[in-house]
Chains A and B, each alone.
Chain A
Amino acid sequence: MTTADRVLTRPRLIATGGLTTVRRNPLLLVLVAMVVVFQLTTGSFLDPANLGGIATDAATLAIVAVPLALLVISGYLDLSVGSTLALGGLVAGWLAGQHHQSPAVALLGALAAGAVVGAVNGVLCCYFGLSAFIVTLGMLTAVRGLAQQLFPLPLSGFGSGFAWIGGARIAGIAAPVVIAAVVLAAGALFLAVTPAGRHVFAIGVNREAAHLSGIQVRRTPFALFVVTGVAAALAGAVKASVLDSVVAGTSGAGFELAVLTAVLVGGVALSGGSGSILGVLLGVLFLGGLQNGLTLLNVPTFWQQMAQGVALVAGAALAYFAPRTGR
């Protein structure tokens, strides 16, 4: 009994107690099964080059999925990340390409743009109490329109300095993957060891009780909206750097749904109050691996989309039958 207590109270960093982890994240088994199937059918799924490709593809997803998961745990939602991603990429590319600013300045400009979008979302949802679904759905369209108005022409040719953000290798690992790993670690630590991490869960489970416990029920989710906006813009800058081009109309289109799918497949409850960063990591890897494996098998794109949709519904069903992870 005492060991059970200890497992339950110990903060969940990434993986504690193998069995408990598997029990709480049934997706882990699905992920392993998927890897085995793809390796057997394609023969090249587990090649280092292919795994590196999956990781780089999944990196942008993970960068946004972590703060979005925190937002969902606290009972909110952000659908505008796809457009924010485009805006971030455009601002970064514009600063680096047209104005020949240093990569750092370009990146900071993008992050600032993301923070503004996030702050607008946060003020409307947290302080004015509007529905996060409606506000961020509106912002999805509005920010996309703003981006197209500001940058009607595709941007490209950002220079070698800016290309470093997406192309550099740090200790043999692609820079986007390193950034994603840092974001994932920061998210996990935030939930496990900071007081605000506890508050996120509490607000998601029972906002009124959290308010009556003296917790800042507006400020914490507001900060999460800002962080989500910043993360989306960062992902946009990374993507712009990797591709060396951004198009206002199409960059990041549908991204918001992919991230949300990863978060929900990863076991974060849309109703708030439950979820883990480990689950988000698994969700991101699952989606990235699924897409990559199906591409290797020459499955047409439409079938891939269908597979993603089925995965989301199946994941929701799985989460429904699995024990809650919110502690």
Chain B
Amino acid sequence: MPSPDAQGPQHVSGPAGHDAGRTPSPDAQEPPRTPDRYEYTPGLDTPEPGRAPTPPRLIVEALRGPGFGPVGLTVAEGERVGLFGLIGSGRTRILETLYGRRRATAGTLRVGEHTVSPARPADALGAGIALVPADRRAQGLFPSLSAQDNTLLPAVRTLARCHVRALRTERRVFDALATAVGLRPARPGLPVGAFSGGNQQKLVLGRWINDARHVDVLLLDEPTQGVDVGARQEIYRVVSGLAAERGTAVLFASSDPEEIVALADRCLIVARGRIVGELSGPGLTEQALLSAVHDADPDPLPAEGAA
């Protein structure tokens, strides 16, 4: 099967959106990844694909926190993994714990070779983990500040020399980013509150994917909530491109099966704070996702590490 993914049944929506990221992967990307991700038994659940060829970028073992756990998962370099579950299933808590917004009560978290225990988002960022939160208004945006200030806020210090901002570099990074994500209007000085939801989301996403910052693990919580259809495809394209070109490990939570199918290589089903199943390849369809969540809920908790 040379490139089964390109014609896979999961291609129901947004061909322009994720083809950009996915089609080049078998040839342009490091070849060992292809068998790793797509070599599965044609059942619905793929139990723990052997990931010898691609180095895992994010490794979570027995992570516990208030309201969830134990959770174990890995995301390989350049892989896009979805967390699918109902609201309240613990997806957001898992992501926020990985990002250091909540403290984990147990478990280990590794980025590449390094063990991290983030106590604050700043720690997680230092380790190369970034989060785009679900609630843009409350957790993402500074509505009265300009687009450039919003998106370069964490980068301003990195770019600065001797505590003086590198204004020209900042502008260049912003312009490059605006082009990359298709920001409209591409006006750095416009207050971010004046942008549409989709463009606001591009700016929040741009906080972590600009030229001034290198992110190893990108966590997205409801990446296209309140985003119009056009911007949604653009965001998928940008995220897929990031995984394909920079090898960023992407872990995203969504309650929209269409989004999971469009963006994820592999999907973990979350229910009651645990991972209760996994779908990938041709088995990853909207129908399968819905029935997986439906099945997951009434069932008693499966044994730990069912995924």
Contact = CB atoms under 8 A, between A and B. Distances in A.
B142 interface: yes
11 contacts: A9-B188, A195-B160, A201-B142, A206-B142, A209-B139, A209-B140, A211-B120, A214-B121, A215-B122, A215-B153, A327-B189
A273 B146 CA distance: 12
Contacts of A212: 99, 101, 121, 131, 133, 139-140
B214 interface: no
B157 interface: yes
Given A195-B157, A213-B207, A214-B154, A205 B139 contact: no
B165 A193 contact: yes
A90 interface: no
Contacts of B148: 9
A8 B146 contact: yes
B165 A8 contact: no
A216 B63 CA distance: 26
B62 to A, nearest CB: 25
B214 to A, nearest CB: 14
Contact of A194 (B142, B164, B190): B164
Contact of A9 (B142, B171, B207): B171
Interface residues of A, number: 32
A198 interface: yes
Contact of B142 (A7, A195, A209, A324): A209
A196 B153 CA distance: 10
A249 interface: no
Interface in A169-217: 193-196, 198-199, 201-202, 205-206, 208-216
B145 A327 contact: yes
A193 B142 contact: no
Nearest to B143: A205
A288 to B, nearest CB: 30
Interface in A306-327: 324, 326-327
Interface in B125-173: 125, 131, 133, 138-146, 148-149, 153-154, 156-157, 160, 163-165, 167, 171
Nearest to A189: B164
Interface in B98-131: 99, 101, 120-122, 124-125, 131
A39 to B, nearest CB: 37
B11 interface: no
Given A214-B154, A215-B153, A274 B144 contact: yes
A53 interface: no
B126 to A, nearest CB: 8
B121 A213 contact: yes
A201 B145 contact: yes
Nearest to B131: A212
Given A5-B189, A216-B122, 12 more contacts: A5-B188, A193-B167, A198-B149, A198-B153, A198-B156, A202-B149, A205-B144, A205-B145, A209-B139, A212-B99, A213-B153, A327-B144
A4 interface: yes
Given A206-B142, A209-B140, A212-B131, A193 B164 contact: yes
